[in-house]
Amino acid sequence: MEKIRKTDAEWKALLTPEQYQVTRKGGTECAFTGALWNDHRDGVFHCVCCGLPLFDSRTKFESGTGWPSFFDPARNEAVISREDLSHGMRRVEVLCARCDAHLGHVFPDGPKPTGLRYCINSAALDFRERA
C-alpha cells in the first residue's frame, strides 16, 4: 500500500482542529463525547484523513468504554500497530496503514472470535452507510 504523506499545514487545512489533534498529534477525545461511539448504523468506518476503509459496523460492539469499539479491522492490512509508552502506560497504538493517522489503541479484552478491542476515536473516523 502506497503511503500518503502531507505536511502539517496540509493536514491542518484538510481536518477540523479536533480531527487534527487526534489523528496527527495522537490525541484522544473524551469518553462518551465522540459522534460515533453509540452509532448503530450499517456501514463502513473510513480514515478521516485518507479515506481508507478501516472497520466494518458488523465488527462493532458495545464495550462500555465510550469510544467506538471493534473486534477486527475491515482488512488486516488497513491498520498497523506500535508500542505506546506515553502517559506512564504500556499500550498498543493503532494507526491507519496508508497515512499513519493515530486512530486509538487495541486491547486484548474484546469478544470472540478475536479477543481484541480496537478502541478508536470517533474524530479519526468517517462513517459511510452501506448502500
Range of the domain at 110: 8-129
The catalytic residue among 47, 49, 96, 119 is 119
1 within some domain = no
Cell numbers given for 77: 492490512
100 within some domain = yes
Name the amino acid, one letter, at 58: R
108 within some domain = yes
The predicted-structure confidence for 18-59, as pLDDT tens digits, reads as follows: 999 999 999 999 999 999 999 999 999 999 999 999 999 999
Give the per-residue pLDDT at 130. 93
The predicted-structure confidence for 59-92, as pLDDT tens digits, reads as follows: 999 999 999 999 999 999 999 998 876 767 787 8
Task: Give the other-Cβ count within 10 Å of 72's Cβ.
Answer: 17
Any idea how long the chain is? 131
Domain count, the chain: 1
Give the per-residue pLDDT at 86. 72
Give the per-residue pLDDT at 84. 74
Active site (annotated) includes residue 49: no
CATH number at residue 24: 2.170.150.20
pTM greater than the 0.75 cutoff: yes
Question: Averaged over 82-110, what is the pLDDT?
Answer: 88
Give the per-residue pLDDT at 83. 82
